[in-house]
Structure 1
Amino acid sequence: MSDKRMSVRHVTTDVLDVAYHEAGPVDGPPVLLLHGFPYDIHSYAEVAPALAGSGHRVIVPYLRGHGPTRFLSPDTPRSGQQAALGADALALMDALGIERAVLAGYDWGGRAACVAAALHPERVAGIVSVNSYLIQDIALADQPLRPDLEAGFWYFFYFLTERGRAGLTADARGIAEVIWRRNSPKWTFGPAELDRAAEAFLNPDYVDVVLHSYRHRLGHAPGAPAYARDEAALAATPPITVPAVTLDGTADGNFPATDGSPSALHFTGPRVHHQVADAGHNLPQEAPAAFAGAVREVTVMRLS
């Protein structure tokens, strides 16, 4: 693996100075590649040039609280809730003058894509989402998970505590390594990959954004008032009507691969589902050809 860093540009949205990588022709079909937690834009280090080579305009932003992305005002709540992530993607499109784009992601990034597509389908040409429909139903936060999977979500509950805040503040890299190994048991990443991603965790708002994301998700923190309307709409788990390609890695340590049917009712537009052999949770970095292929596939679905 090359330790090469992806170059970044900056653009200002309503609440953020967003750091993002751009590749490909400016007049190509736009695609936003959205990373998850605890990862960074280098999940797309191979996907981005592959799509740029196919003629796409590729935008890969650091999410709020990550890397060089910064809040414009100290008074803005450091929210990590799902509505904020979806709004950020649309605000970035506005700042770059992009009317419609394919949104593709996994984990937090896949959730942002699902949120934007469900609430503003007129802005989303199609989505690629790892683990299918990722909009959270906050009302179900207290319902138990499967016992064999609960252990993999230990950090959800750890981050509810001040001990979790202290741990994330002291060793974000170490926490990421534990999560990576659980999420992707077949991924043979090395120190270089982890060190590169961990640079994004040095953002001064990283801890607050991450803690709020999981505390809000489990009903232990209020949402930011700016996103109240969107959260109310998301509570109804609205359908995704735009073309979609969904992916499951067969070696995802927390989300067992399915045939796509468990979330089928949430996709009312054209949808194709694929299983990706031996890939874990960080699917674009572990199986970049499959992820890039999914973006190309949904682009064709949009045009057909």
Structure 2
Amino acid sequence: MAKAAAGFAEVRQIDAGLLNVGYVDAGPPDGEPVILLHGWPYDIHSFVDVVPALTAAGYRVVLPYLRGYGSTRFLADDAMRNGEPAAMALDLIALMDALKIDTAKLAGFDWGARTADVVAALWPERCRGLVSVSGYLIDGQASGRVPLPPKAEFAWWYQYYFATERGREGYDKNRRDFAKLIWQTASPRWTFDDATFERSAAAFDNPDHVDIVIHNYRWRLALADGEPRYDEIEQRLAAKPKINVPSISLEGDANGAPHLEPTVYGKQFAGQYEHRMVGGGVGHNLPQEAPQAFADAVMQV
């Protein structure tokens, strides 16, 4: 059973773009920067066992809470609680600017992998290398309108639940139970103790969390509008731009979350590229379930 290791000693705050971002900054300040990006419903502790391996190798490791998680807050009360991929990518660019990081290795899973993919595709000068769990995750609203085979639709059950007001209310009232169910189904062979789960679940108490999650999934199905400021970027993403930076994609052999085979998305990586299957019953939360494999990919990309 995975037991909770020690958490992070200090979470810092910095104004970046639309947000005051909560983040961990570990390792030598002059080390090569690596930014690790978590997904839903997880938080920065997915990387708690990855960070020591990277800092020991001399990397500066930055772990931000995404909008709607942990101590990250909007600077303006009237800002739209927007979960669009373009918004999250610009959050990352703004954070890099605020931290005076010109370029970094980017690595993540789930929402974090999508964010890293977007930055690598549209702002390659900001990305020295990419590690993306489940590979190429860039898409547009148009594809969200296309029906999938029943088995694939079944795997996305929560997306349709979130499309209803009942789903919004249910998720708000049952954040922890909902997240634990996703952890169990997305990583069916990963056993974790209560302390490990609760350490991450605290991030879902963010006052914007539900709004961000609901908007993210409704936007994907074209059931919610985005913001005009992101339209041009979303149009570019809908065209599925290729990623030219050096990249490694990872997949756990027991990933229970919806995901494509690398034979489907591999052609989207036009630069130096390698896919690695991580065995041993590893599920969706790959950096927490297989931290050494994840850290090795970051160091080797």
Asked whether the two chains share a fold, i.e. TM above 0.5, the reply is yes
Interval containing the TM-score (normalised by the shorter chain): over 0.9
Deviation at 1:256, TM superposition (A): 5.8
Match of 1:156 in 2: 159
Deviation at 1:3, TM superposition (A): 5.0
Match of 2:33 in 1: 30
Deviation at 1:229, TM superposition (A): 1.5
Q: 1:290 aligns with which of 293, 296, 299?
A: 293
Aligned-residue identity in percent: 51
8 Å contact from structure 2 (residues 247, 273) kept in 1: yes
TM-score, normalised on structure 2?
0.96
Deviation at 1:116, TM superposition (A): 0.6
Deviation at 1:257, TM superposition (A): 7.3
Amino acid at match of 2:42: Y
Deviation at 1:97, TM superposition (A): 0.2
TM-score, normalised on structure 1?
0.95
Q: Structure 1 regions of 5+ residues with no counterpart?
A: 299-304
Match of 2:283 in 1: 280
Looking at structure 1, the residues matched to 210 and 239 of structure 2 have their Cα atoms a distance apart, in angstroms, of 29
Q: Following superposition, which runs of at least 4 residues in structure 1 exceed 6 angstroms of deviation?
A: none
8 Å contact from structure 1 (residues 3, 192) kept in 2: no
Looking at structure 2, the residues matched to 137 and 69 of structure 1 have their Cα atoms a distance apart, in angstroms, of 26
Match of 1:265 in 2: 267
Deviation at 1:139, TM superposition (A): 0.8
Deviation at 1:142, TM superposition (A): 2.2
Q: Structure 2 regions of 5+ residues with no counterpart?
A: none
- 2:199 counterpart of 1:196: yes
8 Å contact from structure 1 (residues 117, 240) kept in 2: yes
Looking at structure 1, the residues matched to 258 and 178 of structure 2 have their Cα atoms a distance apart, in angstroms, of 19
Post-superposition Cα deviations, 1:230-287, rounded to whole Å, max 9, x if no partner, equal 11111111110101000011100124674x2211221111001000012100000000
8 Å contact from structure 2 (residues 140, 234) kept in 1: no
Q: 1:73 aligns with which of 67, 73, 76?
A: 76
Looking at structure 2, the residues matched to 255 and 219 of structure 1 have their Cα atoms a distance apart, in angstroms, of 19
Deviation at 1:196, TM superposition (A): 1.1
Looking at structure 2, the residues matched to 180 and 42 of structure 1 have their Cα atoms a distance apart, in angstroms, of 14
Looking at structure 2, the residues matched to 74 and 288 of structure 1 have their Cα atoms a distance apart, in angstroms, of 37
8 Å contact from structure 2 (residues 37, 113) kept in 1: yes
Match of 1:209 in 2: 212
Q: Equivalences for 1:11-90 in 2 at 5 Å?
A: 11-90=14-93
Looking at structure 2, the residues matched to 212 and 203 of structure 1 have their Cα atoms a distance apart, in angstroms, of 15
Amino acid at match of 2:46: S
Count of matched residue positions in the alignment of Structure 1 and Structure 2: 297
Amino acid at match of 1:21: V
